[in-house]
Amino acid sequence: MKLVNVYHVDAFTQNPFAGNPAGVVPDANTLTVQQMQRIANELNLPESAFLMSSEHPEADFRIRYFTPTTEIDFCGHATVGSSWLLATERGWLEKGRPIVFETNVGLIPVALDIEAGQLQKVTMTQIAPSVQEIDVNREEVARMVGIRLEDLDDRYPMKLASTGGLHLVVPVRTCEAIDRAVPLLSELERLNKQHRITTTHLFASDAPEGYDVYTRDFAPAIGIPEDPVTGAANGALSGYLALEGFLEKGKVHHLVIGQGHAIGRPGTLYVTVEHTREHPVIHVGGAAHVTIAGQLRLKEE
């Protein structure tokens, strides 16, 4: 019998049962890809992260991400959850330096914010953001995500944005409209697969008190009807806001993004956009809570 340590970490929150749950397997060197996929399916969380040794000279770990149905190239909340676990349960806090993960999209460094010896949050620097056009009918997209056409915010273009995976950015006028959204998941899945989109990301600058932006995220194409609080999609959104000129160039911008409230898993993301150079740099941070720790028992293969 092979025993595999596994953790359930709620990311972008300080509380259990909030934020976005991630599975974290910190000792995955001996697992096959098939085993990793089966474990992710068994955990049935939005994403699970598997950490293993890296041969990259600048990386501390190789990390792979799986939804219950497929491997994806990058996951923000599972990176936050993995970093928090390493810092609080695996002694990384004492090292006093960032953790560098080798992912399918490149190196992702994660800084530890420590005050009086206590970890406050972890912050990942995502890869360079990009945006691209997408030929879609706005009325059809509104129908698929379950809002009215007049709920779309015409001040912002509907585009694809990325800091590691493609996200369809859908601007919405109010947070109330976002909360009312009832997506047609089968149709949205077909649209996303057609354009190789990871998630469809609704956002409103009309945010609840304490937040600058409010978002909601649907990802049926990768086996997740709704992703509660998304580090990758909100990083891509922040890059979109910079590249499309909604964040003034030559400045450093700080955004507090709220997500998950509509489904009872509120989370908070702290995003810094360094828009002082030719290409903006996106940092996405938050806290986490290790909610479950245990062992999987696998048969030897």
What is the pLDDT of the chain when averaged over all its residues? 97
CB 163 within 8 A of CB 236: yes
- For 173-191, write each residue's pLDDT tens digit: 999 999 999 999 999 999 9
- For 251-277, write each residue's pLDDT tens digit: 999 999 999 999 999 999 999 999 998
- For 123-171, write each residue's pLDDT tens digit: 999 999 999 999 999 999 999 999 999 999 999 999 999 999 999 999 9
* Pair type for strands 2-11 and 288-298: antiparallel
Q: Give the length of the chain.
A: 301
What's the rounded Cα separation, in Å, for the pair 58 and 24? 22
- For 228-246, write each residue's pLDDT tens digit: 999 999 999 999 999 999 9
- Exactly one of 42, 47, 139, 226 is catalytic; which is it? 47
The CATH classification number of 2-121+287-298 equals 3.10.310.10
Question: Was domain 130-286 assigned CATH 3.10.310.10?
Answer: yes
**What integer pLDDT is reported at residue 300 of this predicted model?**
81
Q: How far is CA 58 from CA 25, 52, 257, in A?
A: 21, 14, 30
Residue 235 has phi, psi (to 5 degrees) of: -65, -45
Asked whether the predicted pLDDT for residue 301 surpasses 80, the reply is: no
Q: Give first-to-last CA distance, the chain, whole Å.
A: 9
Q: Do domains 2-121+287-298 and 130-286 have the same CATH topology?
A: yes
Q: Report which DSSP code applies to 29.
A: T
| 47: annotated active-site residue | yes
161 closest CA partner among 261, 248, 238: 238
Amino acid at 132: Q
Structural domain boundaries of the chain? 2-121+287-298, 130-286
